[in-house]
């Protein structure tokens, strides 16, 4: 594994350990040290309210992972359910699901999430809902393709001719084969969700102040680009390095299990 | 081919219909009474009634839907709640700015992406190749809202070459266009390079060399024509990322486009504008995809036989 990736993972691990051991308050303000540069007491400096940037980054990390974890669980569950059913039973149902995914793919990137986050009041649950609503499509397409592939293999046909029920085939043959491609897909999805969540917070649709969120911090930091560029740099570097790490991990899994080839 | 073609047209039509339905229901998904959300709870009953009537919310839902469909079909996006003025002019201005930004970003990405990819492939495994490939990996993983501030910091605060934001000078477009284009540029470089390298080693190119064709002719006629096909697909796919990236980039650089209008309207709770912005961004994406798909069919001789 790449040394840089290990270093970044290690950095976040230390941060979370500090949080768990000492339980700092990321909203604690020190007005005499507003926008101060990195020093011994605050490793990455302080923001415009005199709050420790490192502490806020850790809290933002925990907040966004809570959201992203739930979004991944919800959207992968819905996606797999729809995809497997459509792929396995085929026919009209499959056609309908195909139209449904085409429809959802008409909205570029995070536009659908923006639309739903805009009309629902800002908050954690609504943010999770807004991100999940477009998130299931990728999983559904993957699950459908894999199910169609598996369904036509000889051993599944054999099992079918021996009188196995549909439920038994899905549980014993289809779902296990989905495991590895799904984990790889989810890894890449987490990386793009980090950016999506931060983008929503950046335009003011994510977690509301004073809760720490990376997108919100990024938006605040841009206003102080002239006087304290370190603020924007640290926030941006955190997001970017984490996304890079997760993508790297996804590539690693992809290589290891040879998912693309299958 | 004809069958395939009508399928594409049909699915685009379906998408447009779907976009319309989703944007229509945005107003109806507001928790509680949309009128109270827009005007505030303390608004006078008469004002509430007036707005409800204006937006047609007192009609049965199927009638609302048909009315708003006909309205959009005529190219009328309704009135702003905040100012009471028709929003068409505002939307069209914003649309022009966004398309200008997106097309500039697209041009930068295509010109530098393809030439970068060509250079990297020509000098395969050399130092130039490695520099180009590694820097493009960097640009793929950098989000717009970080790349923007970085470019601001470098090109306008430290070097003072370009205006930091707004749209007052003709050079204002450079920073947002760069921010928007670099991710796509990196993807185009990677794609061009990998395709070129693959095709350069193929039998067809070796035969062309053996025939004694000039290196230049081989590069353009034999290699580049084949690279163009996957390239167009990826550009079409990436255009969506460009449009949704425009929301962030425009907000960051105060560029008066659809993205900024969208974000502003959300903050002002001016929902007709929100609806119109989302509708237009999504529709543009569908049309670009349709165009790509058609172009693809014309370029790839293999597709014609299907």
B272 contacts on A by Cβ (under 8 Å):
none
H or E segment to which residue A64 belongs: helix A53-89
In a domain, B54, yes or no: yes
Both B162 and B273 in a single domain?
yes
3-state secondary structure of A40: coil
| Helix B271-299 × helix B2-26 angle, to 10° | 170
- What is the structure's pLDDT at B306? 42
Q: Do B149 and A222 touch (CB under 8 A)?
A: yes
Identify the burial level of A70 via C-beta atoms within 10 angstroms of its C-beta, where 0-12 means exposed, 13-18 middle and 19 or more buried: middle
What's the average pLDDT block by block, 10 residues per block, for chain B (306 residues)? 71 87 80 72 77 76 79 79 81 91 92 89 85 83 88 84 78 88 90 86 84 81 81 84 88 89 86 88 89 79 54
- What is the structure's pLDDT at A171? 87
Least confident of A36-50, A96-110, A243-257, B85-99: A36-50
Q: Are A56 and A47 in contact (CB under 8 A)?
A: yes
* Token duo for residue B63: 């009638």
Both B59 and B92 in a single domain?
no
Q: Do B153 and A111 touch (CB under 8 A)?
A: no
| Interface predicted TM-score (ipTM) | 0.84
Cα gap A248→A107, rounded to integer Å: 27
Q: Do A218 and B31 touch (CB under 8 A)?
A: no
Both B111 and B228 in a single domain?
yes
Q: Do B19 and A198 touch (CB under 8 A)?
A: no
Identify the burial level of B203 via C-beta atoms within 10 angstroms of its C-beta, where 0-12 means exposed, 13-18 middle and 19 or more buried: exposed
Which one of B73, B96, B111 terminates a domain?
A: B73
How far does the CA of residue B256 sit from the closest CA of chain A (Å)?
A: 15
Q: Do A112 and B22 touch (CB under 8 A)?
A: yes
Which whole number is the average pLDDT over A230-256? 88
What residue of B is the nearest CA neighbor of A105?
B15
Q: Are A230 and A48 in contact (CB under 8 A)?
A: no
Both B157 and B240 in a single domain?
yes
Both B93 and B46 in a single domain?
no
Question: Which of B 116-135 lie inside 8 A of A, CB atoms?
Answer: none
A261 pLDDT more than 70: no
Both B130 and B40 in a single domain?
no
- What is the structure's pLDDT at A37? 80
B141 contacts on A by Cβ (under 8 Å):
240, 243-244, 247
How many contacts, defined by CB atoms under 8 Å, are there between A and B? 125
Q: Do A244 and B141 touch (CB under 8 A)?
A: yes
A100 pLDDT more than 50: yes
3-state secondary structure of B78: coil
Interchain CB contact of A106 with B (< 8 Å): yes
Both B50 and B95 in a single domain?
no
B15 contacts on A by Cβ (under 8 Å):
102-103, 105-106
Cα gap A248→A255, rounded to integer Å: 11
Query: What is the phi-psi region of residue A107: left when phi exceeds 0, alpha when psi lies from -120 to 50, beta otherwise?
Result: beta
Average pLDDT over chain A, rounded to whole?
Answer: 86
Compute CA distances A92 → A105, A167, A259, whole Å: 20, 20, 29
Cα gap B169→A170, rounded to integer Å: 62
The CATH number of the domain holding residue B258 is: 1.10.3720.10
> Burial code of A201-229, b = ≥16 C-beta within 10 A, e = fewer?
bbbbbbbeeebbbbbbbbbbbbebbeebb
Question: Which of B 17-46 lie inside 8 A of A, CB atoms?
Answer: 18-19, 22-23, 26-27, 29-31
A85 pLDDT more than 70: yes
Place of tokens 């007036």: B50
Q: Are A231 and A40 in contact (CB under 8 A)?
A: no
Contacts with A196 (C-beta within 8 Å, 6 or more apart), sequence order:
A109, A110, A113, A131
In a domain, B82, yes or no: no
Interchain CB contact of A4 with B (< 8 Å): no
Interchain CB contact of A16 with B (< 8 Å): no
Q: Do B278 and A111 touch (CB under 8 A)?
A: yes
Both B188 and B49 in a single domain?
no
* Pairwise pLDDT comparison (A196 vs A120), residue with the higher score: A196
In a domain, B79, yes or no: no
- Write out the residue range of the structural domain in which residue B7 sits: 2-73
Which one of B73, B102, B118 terminates a domain?
A: B73
Chosen for mutation from A103, A119, A226 (greatest number of chain B CBs closer than 10 Å) is: A119
How far does the CA of residue A232 sit from the closest CA of chain B (Å)?
A: 7
Which whole number is the average pLDDT over A183-197? 91
Q: Where residue A1 falls among pLDDT bands split at 50, 70, 90?
A: low
What are the backbone angles phi and psi of residue B50, rounded to the nearest 5°? -65, -45
Both B44 and B184 in a single domain?
no
Q: Do B247 and A205 touch (CB under 8 A)?
A: no
Facing B241 at nearest CB: one of A109, A204, A225 = A109
In a domain, B78, yes or no: no
Cα gap A240→A191, rounded to integer Å: 10
Both B171 and B244 in a single domain?
yes
Domains and CATH numbers, chain A: 66-261 (1.10.3720.10)
Both B184 and B292 in a single domain?
yes
- What is the structure's pLDDT at A190? 93
Q: Are A250 and A187 in contact (CB under 8 A)?
A: yes
Cα gap B292→B237, rounded to integer Å: 9
A172 pLDDT more than 80: yes
Compute CA distances A56 → A18, A44, A53, A216, whole Å: 13, 10, 5, 11
Interchain CB contact of B241 with A (< 8 Å): yes
How far does the CA of residue B140 sit from the closest CA of chain A (Å)?
A: 9
A200 contacts on B by Cβ (under 8 Å):
none
Q: Do B286 and A106 touch (CB under 8 A)?
A: yes
Facing B263 at nearest CB: one of A198, A203, A247 = A203
Identify the burial level of A126 via C-beta atoms within 10 angstroms of its C-beta, where 0-12 means exposed, 13-18 middle and 19 or more buried: middle
Q: What is the DSSP string of A161-208?
A: HTT--HHHHIIIIIHHHHHHHHHHHHHHHHHHHHHHHHHHHHTT-SSP
For residue range A17-46, what is the model confidence (pLDDT) as tens digits?
A: 888 887 777 777 877 877 778 888 777 888
Dmax (CA) for chain B in angstroms is: 85
B270 contacts on A by Cβ (under 8 Å):
none
Centroid of chain to Cα B135: 23
In a domain, B83, yes or no: no
Identify the burial level of A167 via C-beta atoms within 10 angstroms of its C-beta, where 0-12 means exposed, 13-18 middle and 19 or more buried: exposed
Domain count, chain B: 2
Query: What is the phi-psi region of residue B40: left when phi exceeds 0, alpha when psi lies from -120 to 50, beta otherwise?
Result: left
Both B35 and B101 in a single domain?
no
A112 contacts on B by Cβ (under 8 Å):
22
């Amino acid at each position: 594994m790449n040394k840089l990736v290990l270093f970044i993972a290690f950095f976040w691990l230390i941060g979370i350990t500090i949080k768990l051991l000492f339980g700092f308050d990321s909203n604690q303000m020190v007005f005499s040290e507003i926008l101060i540069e990195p020093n011994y007491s605050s490793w990455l400096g302080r923001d415009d309210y005199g709050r420790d940037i490192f502490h806020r980054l850790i809290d933002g990390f925990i907040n966004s992972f809570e959201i992203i974890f739930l979004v991944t669980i919800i959207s992968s569950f819905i996606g797999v359910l729809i995809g497997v059913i459509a792929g396995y039973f085929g026919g009209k149902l499959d056609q309908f699901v195909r139209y449904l995914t085409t429809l959802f793919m008409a909205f570029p990137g995070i536009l659908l999430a923006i639309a739903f986050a805009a009309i629902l009041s800002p908050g954690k649950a609504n943010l999770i809902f807004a991100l999940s609503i477009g998130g299931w499509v990728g999983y559904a397409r993957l699950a459908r393709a894999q199910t169609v592939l598996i369904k036509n293999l000889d051993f599944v046909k054999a099992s079918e001719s021996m009188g196995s029920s549909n439920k038994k085939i899905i549980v014993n043959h289809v779902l296990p084969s989905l495991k590895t491609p799904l984990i790889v897909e989810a890894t890449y999805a987490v990386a793009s969700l980090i950016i999506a969540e931060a983008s929503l917070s950046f335009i003011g649709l994510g977690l509301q102040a004073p809760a720490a969120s990376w997108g919100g911090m990024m938006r605040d930091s841009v206003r102080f680009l002239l006087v304290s560029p370190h603020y924007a740099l640290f926030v941006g570097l955190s997001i970017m390095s984490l996304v890079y790490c997760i993508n790297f991990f996804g590539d690693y899994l992809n290589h290891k299990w040879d998912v693309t080839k299958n | 081919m004809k069958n395939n073609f009508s399928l594409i047209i049909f699915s685009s039509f379906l998408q447009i219909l779907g976009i319309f339905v989703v944007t229509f229901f945005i107003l109806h998904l507001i928790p509680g009474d949309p009128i109270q959300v827009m005007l505030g709870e303390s608004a006078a009953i008469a004002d509430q009634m007036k707005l409800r009537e204006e937006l047609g919310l007192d009609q049965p839902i199927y009638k609302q839907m048909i009315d708003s469909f006909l309205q959009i079909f005529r190219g009328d996006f309704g009135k702003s709640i905040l100012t009471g003025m028709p929003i068409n002019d505002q939307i069209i201005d914003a649309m022009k700015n966004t398309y200008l930004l997106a097309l500039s970003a697209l041009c930068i990405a295509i010109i530098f992406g393809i030439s970068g990819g060509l250079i990297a492939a020509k000098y395969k495994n050399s130092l130039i190749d490695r520099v180009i490939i590694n820097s493009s990996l960097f640009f793929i993983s950098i989000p717009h809202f970080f790349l923007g501030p970085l470019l601001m910091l470098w090109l306008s605060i430290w070097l003072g070459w370009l205006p930091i934001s707004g749209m007052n000078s003709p050079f204002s477009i450079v920073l947002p266009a760069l921010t928007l284009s670099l991710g796509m540029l990196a993807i185009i470089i990677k794609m061009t390079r990998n395709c070129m390298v693959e095709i350069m080693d193929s039998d067809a190119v070796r035969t062309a060399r053996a025939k004694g064709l000039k290196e230049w002719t081989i590069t353009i006629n034999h290699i580049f024509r084949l690279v163009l096909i996957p390239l167009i697909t990826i550009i079409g796919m990436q255009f969506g990322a460009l449009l949704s990236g425009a929301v962030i980039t425009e907000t960051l650089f105060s560029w008066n486009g659809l993205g900024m209008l969208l974000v502003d309207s959300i903050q002002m709770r001016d929902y007709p504008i929100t609806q119109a912005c989302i509708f237009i961004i999504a529709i543009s994406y569908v049309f670009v995809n349709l165009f790509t798909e058609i172009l693809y069919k014309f370029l790839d001789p293999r597709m014609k036989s299907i």
